[in-house]
Structure 1
Amino acid sequence: MRSTLRPVALGPIALGLAGIFMALATPAVADVKAGVDAWGRGEYKRAVDEWRPAAIAGDADAQFNLGQAYKLGRGVPVDIAMAESWYRKAALQGHPQGETNYGLILFQGGKRAEALPWLEKSVARGEPRAQLVLGTMLYNGDGVPRDWPRAYALMVRSAASGLPQASTVQAQMDQYIPQDQRQKGLVLARQYEADAARSPLPPETSGSGTQTAMRGTEVPPSSYDDNAGPRPVDEAPAQPPVRTKPRPAPVATQAPPPRPAATGKWRVQLGAFGDPNNARKLWGQVAGRFAGRQPYYVKSGALTRLLVGPFASSSEASRACGAVKPCVPVGP
């Protein structure tokens, strides 16, 4: 296995589907809603004119919306410094989207130390883009101490929210993060899931599902509210490249004596998949729990069954099933 990751150039992060809008709090100032309505009609300059007095007066929604306008260049010229300034004003008032976008725009501008506390606040709320960016920072040790279990946990949660870039980066992490650290990350991801009451992990990862028809790894749709009317589209910064320093050469140790080859005709079934790649992915996650055994990919109609063995008896297969769920002994 290679010891380094090649940088990955990814496009702007989309929130599940193109055209999903960021949610805004119910405006407290009539002009703010009038600006949102104008923005929805494509009247960007009028929207900006409606928002500016309210923003100057201290309305956090209007401040966030002006940040969006300056970032996207709608109704005003693109001005990242002005966008950052308005996001900051909204963030300092506790505006959730303002906090997230302020952290992201600081990160995009290379201000890692300033971005970190705002990204952490957004991650604590379960914000997928912040999870993606902070997870990548933790993986690379980019402005923060390297923490692969937490990086993996955040990437799993971001991918489960519907960000395709997060799924891509998670697949890379699967290749380079040792299995024991990935397992720690999955435990932490489940804790984050419970804390945020977000959508559950796919069953191949969470260890749930049915024997005969486990679901694929397609992530659920975004949980953003897209029924609250037109709002400024939020465009997140480009995904930072994933990279890692070369790992130190392993210290030479005496090889352990070879393990006797397992024998027998019993196996255990860990699932059945419509996509054979999902069966191989699951084996990559649990192989360490079945030392000395091997996978069998058995076609059964449109499904591919993942079997593991061999085992000498039914009781030995049943004991092996204690290592992972779902798991069913299969006789000869």
Structure 2
Amino acid sequence: MKSLWMAGLASALLVAPASAQRAPVAAQEDPVKAGVDAYDRGDYRTAVEKWRPEANRGNADAQFNMGQAYKLGRGVPADSKQAEAWYRKAVLQGHEQAEGYYGVTLFENGKRSEAVQWLQRAVSRDDARAQYILGIMLFNADGVQKDWVRAYALMVRSSVTGLDPAIKARAQMDQFMPLDDRQKGLALSRKYEEEFSRGGRPLPPVEVAEVNRPVPVETRPAPPAVNRPAPRPVQSAPQPAPAAPARDGGWRVQLGAFGDANNARKLWSQVGGRFPGRQPYYVKAGALTKLLVGPYASRATAASACGSVKPCVPVTR
């Protein structure tokens, strides 16, 4: 029986903690934000010390951040069960960003049937990570009834955002699936795109398998770190709708040159959402690392993509 290989999930599917969603106050008066600032400096232990009391008092953002800390092993030992518990506390309070990560963690912890509802909620908001996982489950009949057409539609939606594991999974699907099923999947993905562009709505429920006996899923090492920038704190905000893959006309935009390559990756983690469907290129130039983004078909399309991002200069590869 055909089954998809699955790339490593932890670094590919996680972002770092979110700042508290409430009226702006001074950092010293807001422990959640102070923790995010500490996390951004790499002081993970202080971040956890700031978040834990707030999480215990019921702050959903702090609970989500504690889930991230335990998931990534930042400031505390990595513990997937603790991460699951903190994500659950957050989602039960309606923390939307936590839903996808809770679903992913349930999946990783072998709780396939429990994961489905949370993954589907995130999928309904066009969450690329949830689309990838649910697409894998539907293709492999892993805890759910097999549905190759829907699996392909979700993987198309996920892959056009540039999510590397989804791109690889879609390539495998192209090898396994009949052309007719792929065409139906593409049509369904376009229907999903229209629904998401109108603000999204709950999709038809996924049918959970009567017997949760998953097809074995092969695993392989995560792709190189160049495609997996280190997570950093971000605001919980809707991501721009992903763009269709662009033709490579040899054009990129350059966002900067850095003596420390980690700073290039850090910048991409901050602004990557403004370049949907594109990918970063980390180009060595002597002691510097340039951050390029593309591909673009022409200089005009590259220049147009810059928008309000500064500096941003069209260059040829």
TM-score by length of 1: 0.57
State the distance in 1 between where 2:147 and 2:184 align: 11
Q: How far apart, in 2, do the equivalents of 1:7 and 1:199 lie? A: 24
Name the CA distance, whole Å, in 2 between partners of 1:162 and 1:27: 31
Hey, what's the Cα distance between the residues in 2 that align with 1:126 and 1:25? 23
- Opposite residue 8 of structure 1, the aligned amino acid is W
Match for residue 10 of structure 1?
Answer: 7
Q: 1:153 to 1:10 in 2, by over 3 A?
A: same
Contact kept, 8 Å, 2:67 with 2:87, in 1: the verdict is yes
Residue deviations 1:155-191 (CA, integer Å, cap 9, x gap): 0010001111111111111122111111111111111
Q: Which residue of 1 aligns with 2:169?
A: 169
Q: Does 1:30 align with 2:41?
A: no
Equivalent residue, structure 1, for 2:138: 138
**Residue 125 and residue 217 in structure 1: after superposition, are their counterparts in 2 closer, same or farther (change >3 A)?**
farther
Are positions 1:226 and 2:266 aligned together?
A: no
Give secondary structure in 1 for the equivalent of 2:270: coil
Aligned partners of 2:192, 2:35: CA distance in 1, in Å? 36
Deviations 1:170-213 (A, max 9, x none): 1111122111111111111111112223223337xxxxxxxxxx
| C-alpha distance in 1 between matches for 2:271 and 2:33 | 16
Q: Residues of 1 paired with 2:4 and 2:155: CA distance?
A: 17
Offset, 1:12: 3.4
State how far apart, in whole Å, the 1-side matches of 2:107 and 2:10 are: 14
- Relative to structure 1, the CA distance from residue 131 to residue 101 in structure 2 (aligned partners, 3 Å threshold; closer, same or farther) is same
Query: What is the letter of the counterpart of residue 155 of structure 1?
Result: M
Matches within 5 A, 1:249-268: none
Contact 1:27 1:33 in 2 (8 A): no
Query: Does 1:49 pair with 2:49?
Result: yes
Match of 1:202 in 2: 245
SS at match of 2:7: coil
Residues 38 and 44 in structure 1, CA contact (< 8 A), matched pair in contact too: yes
Cα deviation digits, residues 50-73 of structure 1 (max 9, x gap): 111111111110000011111122
3-state SS of 1:226 partner: helix
Aligned length: 210
CA gap of 1:114–1:154, structure 2 versus 1, over 3 A, is: same
CA shift digits 1:245-266 (9 cap, x unpaired)? xxxxxxxxxxxxxxxxxxxxxx
* Counterpart residue type for residue 8 of structure 2: G
Superposition pairs of residues 267-278 of structure 1, within 5 angstroms:
none
The separation in 2 between residues aligned to 1:27 and 1:217, in whole angstroms, is 44
Check whether the contact 1:103–1:116 (CA below 8 A) recurs between aligned residues.
yes
Q: 1:135 to 1:97 in 2, by over 3 A?
A: same
**Structure-2 residue corresponding to 1:94:** 94
1:185 maps onto 2:189 in alignment: no
**Pair 1:25–1:121, CA change in 2 (3 A):** farther
Task: Look up the equivalent residue of 1:159 and give its one-letter code.
Answer: S
- Who is 1:109 aligned against? 109
Contact between 2:4 and 2:169, CA under 8 Å: does it hold in 1?
Answer: no
Distance in 1 (alpha carbons) for counterparts of 2:193 and 2:10: 21
Alpha-carbon distance in 2 for matches of 1:74, 1:14: 13
Structure 1 pair 171–13 and aligned structure 2 pair: CA distance change class (3 A): farther
Runs of 5+ in structure 1 lacking a partner? Answer: 204-214, 219-223, 229-273, 275-332
C-alpha contact (below 8 Å) 2:51/2:66 kept by paired residues = yes
Q: Which has the larger radius of gyration?
A: 1
Is the 1:13–1:129 contact (alpha carbons within 8 Å) kept by the matching residues of 2?
A: no
Partners of 1:226 and 1:89 lie apart in 2 by: 27
TM-score, with length taken from structure 2:
0.60
Q: Distance in 2 between matches of 1:22 and 1:192?
A: 28
Confirm or deny that 1:60 pairs with 2:103. no
State the percentage of identical aligned residues: 52
Query: Cα–Cα, structure 1 residues 9 and 169, in superposed 2: closer, same or farther, change >3 Å?
Result: closer
Question: Contact between 2:3 and 2:139, CA under 8 Å: does it hold in 1?
Answer: no
Structure 2 unmatched runs, 5+: 24-28, 198-240, 251-267, 273-296, 298-317
Aligned amino acid, residue 123 of structure 1: V
Q: 1:22 to 1:165 in 2, by over 3 A?
A: farther
User: Is the contact between residue 14 and residue 163 of structure 1 (CA under 8 Å) also seen in structure 2?
Assistant: no
Report the residue type matching 2:245 in the other structure: P
Task: After superposition, give the CA deviation of every residue in 1:270-305 in whole Å (9 maximum; x if it has no partner).
Answer: xxxx9xxxxxxxxxxxxxxxxxxxxxxxxxxxxxxx
Question: 1:215-273: per-residue Cα shift (whole Å, max 9, x none)?
Answer: 2599xxxxx98259xxxxxxxxxxxxxxxxxxxxxxxxxxxxxxxxxxxxxxxxxxxxx
User: Deviation digits for residues 63-115 of structure 1, max 9, x if unmatched?
Assistant: 00011111122212222221111100001111122111111100001100110
Shift in Å at residue 39 of structure 1? 0.9
Preserved CA contact (<8 Å) 1:132 1:154: yes
CA RMSD, 1 decimal: 3.1
